[in-house]
Structure 1
């Protein structure tokens, strides 16, 4: 009985830690988004728009493009200073040590394509790229549908991974094969990692019909 109670206590403890980590993740993300709305000057925004349009969205902008740009601007765009806005947020804002550690993880996350195998509050998905593929349990988005492919940023927490920001459904089931071919052409021969490839190239595939 003592062992069983100890196991139950550990499960409850991990659940509480997961809930705390999720709240911290939400808080850091929302604060960073607010920072991104007010901190960059007009020159920086114009520069970012020009780079984004040239690389990823040469056609007329729509709501999807604006959503992707907003997230890319925060996490992936390199400013005139050579850093991301999210990095500037971590360096200049008053954050707790645990929030800074969490932010350091968030800063490195690319959009990854995943296939949803089970939809609920406890979504089961399989990453579709990379050398170490295993099932992930996701929380933070209740709109994922079974047997569909989505691009997500996943924050590893305690018991589950947390979906950071919006998710974007793949426009075609063939998109993963296209990504693998592109990776082989541009990155693999130079020793580049999947995460580096996704960090640089994912917006193009998200915006592909």
Structure 2
């Protein structure tokens, strides 16, 4: 006879296994998508994207991107930049790979697609790699960062990241931007409220997707932590 304690233990093991699977799968898809960018994306598309990126951030046209800017460009190029066909690079990658992906990988890909670069404030810490984050619309998330990220976060730290939903907790995907102060998060929320006055049906997530570059703080106000 299976006891209640054994059933709970089995459930916890199942959840932990699925959590690990989803994290591993997302990171693998992310890595494969970067390879796809380097290998298959048309050079004209890259040039067009970099022109838009530099223009939005007020950068000189011929200036090489610093490493931390290059990290943000690649993340934006994968998930937020719209190609001439009006889709994203990550969507094109998944479409090309669809016949080779298992069902759970397609599900995980959909979760990656739905993730947006979003500002948060740290409200607590559960363990070394697991933090409690509060969004600018009041949502609370437990978010895990991979062990090789050199994070120095504390209560009140402000950051911006793309997080993927998990069974036990969410997890960071791609670069994490550390803001100089949480006022930068408030500024982004203020920009959303202003835009919503003229677009009443605008959601927070849609705003973040559409204004991914426009809402970035001045370059001196943030740094990047990557995998």
The equivalent of 1:178 in structure 2 is 187
- Count of matched residue pairs: 208
Structure with greater strand share of residues: 2
Unmatched segments (≥5 aa) in structure 2:
222-227
**Cα distance in 1 between the residues matched to 2:187 and 2:217:** 13
**Cα distance in 1 between the residues matched to 2:43 and 2:213:** 22
**Cα distance in 2 between the residues matched to 1:120 and 1:207:** 29
CA deviation after TM superposition for structure 1 residue 127, in Å: 2.6
Task: Show the 5 A alignment for 1:17-166.
Answer: 17-58=18-59, 61-93=65-97, 94-116=100-122, 117-118=124-125, 120-130=127-137, 133-140=139-146, 142-144=149-151, 145-147=153-155, 148-166=157-175
Judge conservation of contact 1:56–1:207 (CA < 8 Å) in 2.
Answer: no
**Cα distance in 2 between the residues matched to 1:137 and 1:48:** 30
CA deviation after TM superposition for structure 1 residue 204, in Å: 4.0
Judge conservation of contact 1:114–1:125 (CA < 8 Å) in 2.
Answer: no
Q: TM-score, normalising length from structure 2?
A: 0.83
CA deviation after TM superposition for structure 1 residue 154, in Å: 0.9
Judge conservation of contact 1:122–1:138 (CA < 8 Å) in 2.
Answer: yes
Q: TM-score, normalising length from structure 1?
A: 0.90
Judge conservation of contact 1:139–1:163 (CA < 8 Å) in 2.
Answer: yes
Deviations 1:110-153 (A, max 9, x none): 111122221744412223222x5124242435433113111111
